Chain A
Amino acid sequence: MSPRALRRYGLIAFAVLLALLPQLPVPEFWITQANYIGLYTLVALGLVLLTGIAGLTSFGQAAFVGLGAYTAAYLTVTHGVSPWLTVWLGLGVTALAALVLAWVTLRMSGHYLPLATIAWGLSLYYLLGNIEALGKYDGLLGIPALKFFGIELNTGRSYFYLLWTLVLCATIALTHLLDSRAGRALRAVKGGTTMAEAMGVNTFRTKVTAFVLAALLASVSGWLFAHFQRTVNPSPFGLNMGIEYLFMAVVGGVGHVWGALVGASAVQILKDQLQVWLPKLMGTSGNYEVIVFGVLLVLVLQYARDGIWAFVEARLPRINRKVDWADAPALATRPRPPHGDVVLDVNAVRKEFGGLVAVNDVSFQVKAGEILGLIGPNGAGKSTTFNLVTGVLPATRGEVRLLGERIDSLPSREIARRGVSRTFQHVKMIAGMTVLENVALGAHLRGQRGFPSALLRLDRAEERSLMREAEAQLVRIGMGVSMHELAGNLALGPQRLMEIARALCADPTLLLLDEPAAGLRHKEKQGLADVLRQLRSEGLSILLVEHDMDLVMGLVDRVVVMEFGTKLIEGTPDVVQASPAVRAAYLGTEH
Chain B
Amino acid sequence: MDASIVGILMLDGATNGAVYALLALAIVLVFAVTRVIFIPQGEFVAYGALTLALLQLGRVPGTVWLLVALALLAALLDAAQRVRRGLPLPQVIAAALKSLVVPALIVAVTLWAAPRKLPLVVQSLLTLAIVTPLGPLVYRLAYEKLADATVLVLLIVSVGVHFALTGLGLVFFGAEGFRNPSFWDARFSAGALSLSGQTIIIFLVSIALIVALFLFFERTLRGKALRATAVNRLGARLMGISTSGAGHLSFGLAAFIGALSGLLIGPATTMFYDSGFLIGLKGFVAAIFGGLASYPAAALGAIFVGLLESFGSFWASAFKEVIVFTVIIPVLLWRSFQHGHADEEE
Contacts and interface: CB of A to CB of B under 8 A. Distances in A.
Interface stretch (A73-81, A185-193, A343-351, A566-574): A185-193
Given A57-B152, A108-B332, A298-B142, A123 B339 contact: no
A55 B156 contact: no
Given A57-B152, A302-B146, A116 B329 contact: yes
Contacts of B342: 106-110, 193, 203-204
Interface in A98-145: 100-101, 104-112, 114-116, 118-120, 122-123, 126-127, 130
Nearest to A243: B159
A60 to B, nearest CB: 11
A330 to B, nearest CB: 35
B326 A294 contact: no
B333 to A, nearest CB: 5
A297 B345 contact: no
Contacts of B145: 302
B161 interface: yes
A6 interface: no
B175 interface: yes
Contacts of B321: 122-123, 126
Contacts of B196: none
B335 interface: yes
Given A108-B332, A115-B37, A123 B326 contact: yes
Given A55-B345, A126-B321, A288-B167, A301 B281 contact: no
Interface string B158-183: 01111111111011000100000000
B268 interface: no
A194 interface: yes
Interface in B295-346: 318-319, 321-322, 325-326, 328-329, 332-333, 335-336, 339-346
Given A110-B345, A114-B152, A287-B170, A126 B319 contact: yes
A164 to B, nearest CB: 29
A119 B343 contact: no
Given A104-B333, A105-B336, A246-B159, A301 B318 contact: no
A291 interface: yes
A292 to B, nearest CB: 8
A282 interface: yes
Contacts of B339: 108
Most buried by B among A100, A122, A282, A294: A294
B284 interface: yes
B175 A286 contact: yes
A293 interface: yes
Nearest to A282: B171
A301 B326 contact: no
B164 A294 contact: yes
B328 A119 contact: yes
A122 B288 contact: no
B69 to A, nearest CB: 12
Most buried by B among A119, A192, A296: A119
A66 to B, nearest CB: 14
Given A116-B328, A301-B146, A192 B345 contact: yes
A250 interface: yes
A240 B274 CA distance: 12
A160 interface: no
Nearest to B37: A111
Given A104-B336, A109-B342, A286-B175, A126 B281 contact: no
A204 B37 CA distance: 23
Contact of A194 (B149, B278, B318, B344): B344
Contacts of B284: 115, 118
B332 A191 contact: no
Given A115-B288, A290-B163, A301 B156 contact: yes
B157 interface: yes
A1 interface: no
A417 interface: no
Given A130-B322, A192-B346, A298-B142, A291 B153 contact: no
A111 B151 contact: yes
A112 B292 CA distance: 10
Contacts of B322: 123, 126-127, 130
Interface string A397-435: 000000000000000000000000000000000000000
B343 A291 contact: no
A294 B171 contact: no
Contacts of B340: 107
A112 B346 CA distance: 15
Interface in A29-62: 51, 55, 57, 59
A301 B344 contact: no
Given A110-B151, A115-B288, A123-B322, A291 B344 contact: no
Given A115-B284, A290-B166, A107 B336 contact: yes
A295 interface: yes
B157 to A, nearest CB: 5
Contacts of B170: 286-288
A305 interface: yes
Contacts of B345: 55, 109-110, 190-192
Nearest to A101: B329
Contact of A291 (B163, B292, B335): B163
A195 to B, nearest CB: 10
A545 to B, nearest CB: 21
Given A55-B152, A57-B155, A122 B160 contact: no
Contacts of A109: 151, 342-343, 345
Contacts of B259: none
A591 B335 CA distance: 54
Most buried by A among B149, B278, B284, B336: B336
A524 to B, nearest CB: 28
Contact of A301 (B153, B335, B341): B153
B285 interface: yes
Interface of B: 37, 39, 141-142, 145-146, 149-153, 155-157, 159-168, 170-171, 175, 278, 281, 284-285, 288, 292, 318-319, 321-322, 325-326, 328-329, 332-333, 335-336, 339-346
The 7 closest A-B pairs by CB, nearest first: A294-B163, A294-B164, A297-B160, A291-B167, A109-B343, A290-B167, A130-B318
Interface of A: 51, 55, 57, 59, 100-101, 104-112, 114-116, 118-120, 122-123, 126-127, 130, 190-194, 203-204, 240, 243, 246-247, 250, 282, 286-298, 301-302, 305
Given A107-B341, A192-B345, A291-B171, 11 more contacts: A55-B345, A59-B159, A111-B292, A112-B336, A114-B37, A126-B318, A193-B342, A243-B159, A286-B170, A296-B160, A302-B146
